[in-house]
Amino acid sequence: MTDFTQVSTQISVTKPRKSHSQLTALLGATPYLLPALLIFVVFTYYPLLRVIYLSFTDADMLSQAQWVGLSNYREMLANAEFWSSFKITVIFALAVTLTEVILGMALAFLMNAPTRLRTLLRGAVFAPVVVSLAATAVVWNYLLSPNAGPINGLLKSVGLPESGWLTDPKTALASVIMVAVWKGVGLPAVLYLAGLQGISRELEEAASIDGAGRFTVARHITIPLLAPTTLVVFFISLMGTFQSYGLVLLLTRGGPAGSTNLLGYYIYQNAFSFFQMGMASALSVALFLLLLSLGFLQLKLAERRVHYQ
């Protein structure tokens, strides 16, 4: 009993002082933390809550928004256009990502080789990353013109059949994928190049002294050692392509016949062409959940896989 009072007096003596100094510490850090955290709260966390709230309303920017419960979600899941858009987004994201991983790695090998054109090669591969999306769209829109555009002209001159490219529902998505890879593969290539330069030469040399050919070394030593880079490249590219729709916004407006109607563009259109903010918010939340689960998948894989070197 006496012990208890003793302890409690001790606490009551030290506690205010400690919490006082803690408060001082927090106040001391506040000027440093506040600018960044304020922006995160106002432009990331608050809008996240708001988009979730809006998804349960019929907000249309004109009248007062009414609570409609799950009806946006129900409508979304019953809408064939949503599912078609979802499918197109998955195809687009996987196609661009896989191409960027494979091509990015191949380009990095080439960029790392001691060729005379090396500097020029690195510069050329990365140049489209620097060119804006708007300019990319304008240029490729011209290059892929169905009637006697430069690329069709080129195909014709070597005896290949011309294509409708962006104007044909059968080829439009593939064309957008091609433009996206042209524009985007520079980043994975540079990330792989950095990865390659981080691998110790000795390992590869030891293997080739042991009689392994160039492709064997690449397959059994270099590529496995690049696994951490592959993981990063794969998810950066996947998360990026799942939400990006700038090219589609400028090149095809989701068409022809809805063949390039990416989820991001579908949201944009619902929001800013039809002013269906509630529905667009429900779609945004669906996209967010999708990206969030991809993020967790990445974390799980990163924990499990990348313990080489």
Partner 1 sequence: MTTPMTLNSKSKGASARWGQEAISLLVIVFFVMPLVWMLLAAFKPQTEVFLGKLLPSRWEWGNLKLAWESAPFGRYLLNSLLISLITTAAVVTTSALAAYAFARMTFPLKGLLFALALGTLMIPGDVLLIPNFMTVRQFGWLNSYQALIVPFAASAFGVFLLRQAFLQTPVELEEAARLDGATPAQYLRMILLPVNTPVLSALSILTFLSSWNALVWPLVVTNRDEFRTVQVGLASFSSLEGSNLPLVMAATVIVVTPMLLFYIFAQKWFIESAAASGLKG
Query: Footprint of partner 1 on residues 82-101 (CB under 8 A)?
Result: none
Query: Footprint of partner 1 on residues 126-145 (CB under 8 A)?
Result: 126-135, 137-143, 145
Nearer to partner 1, 133 or 203 (CB): 133
Nearest by Cα to 222 from 191, 201, 247: 201
φ, ψ of residue 274 in degrees (nearest 5): -105, -5
Long-range contacts of 250-257 (CB under 8 A, 24+ apart): 250/133, 250/134, 250/137, 250/138, 250/141, 251/137, 251/140, 251/141, 251/166, 251/176, 251/179, 252/166, 252/172, 252/176, 255/169, 255/172, 256/166, 256/167, 256/168, 256/169, 256/172, 257/169
d(CA 165, CA 186): 23
Among 74, 156, 220, 300, binds partner 1 (CB under 8 A): 156
d(CA 180, CA 88): 14
Of 83-91, 161-169, 218-226, 292-300, the segment contacting partner 1 by CB under 8 A is 292-300
Find tokens 């987004």 and name the residue. Answer: 89
Q: Quick one: tokens of 262?
A: 């990416």
Among 113, 160, 206, 297, binds partner 1 (CB under 8 A): 113
Nearer to partner 1, 172 or 247 (CB): 247
Is residue 243 close enough to count as binding partner 1 by CB under 8 A?
yes
Is residue 20 close enough to count as binding partner 1 by CB under 8 A?
no
Among 15, 118, 170, 219, binds partner 1 (CB under 8 A): 118
Is residue 285 close enough to count as binding partner 1 by CB under 8 A?
yes
Nearer to partner 1, 29 or 102 (CB): 29
Among 17, 69, 147, 215, binds partner 1 (CB under 8 A): 147
Is residue 124 close enough to count as binding partner 1 by CB under 8 A?
yes
Is residue 51 close enough to count as binding partner 1 by CB under 8 A?
yes
Nearer to partner 1, 7 or 48 (CB): 48
Is residue 32 close enough to count as binding partner 1 by CB under 8 A?
yes
Nearest by Cα to 275 from 56, 53, 58, 85: 58
Neighbours of 260 (CB within 10 A): 26
Site for partner 1 (CB under 8 A): how many residues?
98
Is residue 67 close enough to count as binding partner 1 by CB under 8 A?
no
Is residue 172 close enough to count as binding partner 1 by CB under 8 A?
no
Nearer to partner 1, 43 or 308 (CB): 43
Nearest by Cα to 233 from 189, 198, 272, 202: 189
